[in-house]
Amino acid sequence: MSVSKAVKALTLPARLVIADPRATGTLLLAVLYFPDKLRSLLPERVYEVVTSPRFVRALKAFLGLGVARTVNNKLSQYVVNNWKSNAKFIKSQEVVLITGGCSGIGLGMVEAFSRMGTKVVVMDLSPPKTSIPQGVHFYQCDVTSSSQISDAAAEIRKSVGDPTVLINNAGIGSSATILDGSEEIIRKTFEVNTIAHFLMVKEFLPAMIKKNKGHVVTIASMASFIVHAGNVDYSCTKASALAFHEGLASELKARYNAPDVRTTVVHPSWIRTPLIQRLLDHPGFKDPVIEPEVVVSRVVDQVVSGQSGQLFLPSAIGVFGYLRSWPSWLQNGFRNRIAHTLEEVKL
């Protein structure tokens, strides 16, 4: 274990206490109103520290920040769910459609939902390289082709029913610079990562609107907020994926009167897959990397919860969601700092 990981592990309890207003509030209450009881429970030197004026001021500050954070999170949750209670996810009655479900995190989600006993439909350009779980319905389909989507949709409705959950997971990237990237790959990146979301929703959303029930999950990226040199086309598509998610949520409520159709957008950082192995092996690469199982688990849990939301994976990098509000000098400085991440590694 590295030194930084060891420090994080050892300080985890303290960091959890500081972040939880229930913990800081309880401790502050004990310090202010039950000092004798506290003294009987703590070593004298620890007691002197926690009852010192400086520590009490820090506790009050952490309590205030914790309360503000909790209220902000709750308010955000209520607003994105249109002040509605959680939509029920009934495992035996749902039909989950996942694009790009024959590999990577897509396949992981297919397996997770299948284990629940939920009907799962996979749409992918290529057939699975390994056997998919029994009972999963596979349709070979180019999700950038509206005619192929329509043909597959007719078969899906006939044999499985209308999907109640749509996970737009299919995506590609090239790591080429603006001048080096071919027109063909640039167009393909936009078609798969952005246009396909529109085509899939046009086909499957009307049934959700009619029942005022469903969930559309958009797999975006931290590239929705952060652009790497050599990754501009991909970042553009993921920024548009975020805009698609936000606009879809607004239209469901304001134009289609379907406030119970949930929407979720997911922003993973680098995911440990063979696709980026050369990047992971590079000695200068220090960005946070998450395991595929983490992404799969969080997305599946989000769908089962029946809530709309925005997931940052890992959650600590959510601070970069505010990048566009940073001063220009700080934004540009950060982009320049990471500009060489992909320079020597061709994914």
Express each pLDDT in 131-142 by its tens digit.
888 889 999 999
Res 38 pLDDT > 70: yes
pTM for the whole structure: 0.83
> Do 73 and 167 reside in the same domain of the chain?
no
Catalytic residue among 119, 139, 213, 238: 238
- Residue 167 burial (CB count, 10 A): 28
Active site residue 78: no
> Do 119 and 238 reside in the same domain of the chain?
yes
Catalytic residue among 60, 119, 234, 346: 234
What is the tally of structural domains in the chain?
2
Residue range 260-315, pLDDT digits in tens: 999 999 999 988 877 777 778 877 777 778 999 999 999 999 999 999 999 999 88
Q: For residue 218, is it within any domain?
A: yes
Domain boundary among 29, 46, 80: 80
Alpha helices in the chain (DSSP H): 3-19, 21-33, 35-41, 44-50, 53-80, 104-115, 146-159, 183-190, 196-211, 232-254, 277-281, 292-305, 328-337
The CATH number given to whatever domain includes residue 122 is 3.40.50.720
- Rounded to whole angstroms, the Cα distance separating 104 from 117 reads 21
Work out the burial of residue 14: count CB atoms within 10 Å of its CB; fewer than 13 is exposed, 13-18 middle, 19 or more buried.
exposed
Q: For residue 343, is it within any domain?
A: no
What's the pLDDT band for 12 if we cut at 50, 70, 90?
A: very low
Active site residue 286: no
Per-residue confidence (pLDDT) for residue 17, from 0 to 100:
57
Domain around 28:
3-80
Query: Cα–Cα distances in Å, from 85 out to 203, 280, 322?
Result: 27, 42, 28
> Do 258 and 313 reside in the same domain of the chain?
yes
Q: For residue 268, is it within any domain?
A: yes
The two tokens of residue 77 are: 């949750």
